[in-house]
Amino acid sequence: MDFPRECRNPGAMQALGRDLAGELAGGAVVGLDGDLGAGKTEFVKGLAAGMGFGGVVTSPTFTLLHEYEAGARTLYHLDFYRVGHGEEILALGWDELLEEPTGVVVVEWAGKFPELLPPEALRLRVEMQPSGERQLLCDSA
């Protein structure tokens, strides 16, 4: 997928998530950053749908981790926004999630604990323009 990408509405953000789904191998880790309301969860909705998940995707702000079964793969959706300490994430079995060969991990507010992400993680950032339009950028090396 090429970056940056313009997003004029939530549907366009979901479409970008669907596009990325086709490019992610098992074991992939995606970190999402951007302000509250930027569209990170919209992006994950598209990602889950693109992987074949037919259910409802909601923000794991309070529950920390949602699991979406998508055919042979599982999408693990986390949100670090309310996490006070990295230990809380490790206690979820974080290391096992990262090692699952059929798992894909996507993390909102990944930049709060960047040291938890493997170096090969795809780091994406949503920027809100004053016009309300969003831009999806890639911060990975």
Ligand X SMILES: Nc1ncnc2c1ncn2[C@@H]1O[C@H](COP(=O)(O)OP(=O)(O)O)[C@@H](O)[C@H]1O
| Binding positions for ligand X, rule: CB under 6 A | 7-10, 12-13, 34, 36-42, 59, 108, 132-134
CA torsion 38→42→47→50, rounded to 10°?
-140
User: Helix-strand-coil percent breakdown of the chain, rounded to 5?
Assistant: 30, 30, 45
Identity of the residue, 10 or 52, whose beta carbon is nearer to ligand X in the bound complex: 10
CB of 137 to ligand X, least distance (A): 13
Interaction residues for Mg ion, span 57-116 (CB under 5 A): 59, 108
Please give the Cα distance from 47 to 21 (Å, whole number). Answer: 5
Verify binding: residue 135, Mg ion, rule CB under 5 A.
no
CB of 18 to Mg ion, least distance (A): 17
